[in-house]
A = this chain, B = another copy of it.
Amino acid sequence: MKIAVLGTGSVGNAIGTKLASLGHEVRMGSRTADNPKAAAWAARTGGSHGTFADAAVFGEVVFNCTTGNASVAALRAAGADNLAGKVVIDVSNPLDFSRGMPPSLFVGNTDSLAETLQREFPAARIVKSLNTMNCDLMVDASRVPDSDVFVAGNDPAARAAVSGWLREWFGWKAPIDLGDLTAARGLEAWLPLWIRLWGTLKTDFNIKVARAR
C-alpha cells in the first residue's frame, strides 16, 4: 500500500520504518522538500520523502505524526483536496509545552485536537488512534503484552479499516472501537496520567482495560 507519514519526529520515524519494513511504499512528508531528517530516513528505509503535499498526494492512507500544535498547519500544507476521502490516522496529542514541564493540553474537555482537524478537513476520514502510548509500542504490540489500543472516528468503515491495519501491521489483536470522534476527548485526556505514570514507573507500559470476571 502507498502510505503517507506526516512528520519527521520519533513517531513518524517509528511508523514509517515499520511500514517500510513490511514492504509498503512510504513517503515521509515535512514542511520542506529537502528536510535532512526525512532524507536520512528515506535513505535508511528505501522510502521516499517530500513536502506534506507530496506525501499526501502519494498516500492512499495518511498518518498524522506531527506535533500537536503544528498539526492544523501541516494538514493545511498537505492540502484538503489531497486528504479528501482518505483515511487520516491522527496520532497527535495537543500537548502545550509553553508553560514548561509537564505539558498541559491546549484543547480538551469539550473538544479535542482530532475533532478540530475533522472540522477543518471535513472530507478527510479522521480516525484517532495510537496516541495513547509511546512510539516503539505503537508499531509492536508485543512489547507490552495483553494491553490495549483504541480507535475513534465518525466513519465506521474507516474505523474498521484502521482496526484491521493495526492488527496486520503492528500486532494489535483487538483494538477497542470507541465510536465517533468525540471519544478523542477521552483518548487525548489520557495523556496527563500517561505522562505522570511514565515519570513514576520509568519503564514501558500501556493501558489495559481489565474486565470483570
Contact = CB atoms under 8 A, between A and B. Distances in A.
A99 B109 contact: no
A195 B212 CA distance: 16
A189 B178 contact: no
Given A205-B211, A212-B205, A104 B110 contact: yes
Contacts of A211: 144, 201, 203-205
Interface string A142-178: 0111110000000000000000000000000000111
A44 interface: no
B204 A207 contact: no
B213 A209 contact: no
A211 to B, nearest CB: 5
A187 interface: yes
Nearest to A142: B213
A95 to B, nearest CB: 11
A85 interface: no
A208 interface: yes
Interface of A: 99, 104-105, 108-110, 143-147, 176-179, 183, 185-187, 189-190, 192-197, 200-201, 203-213
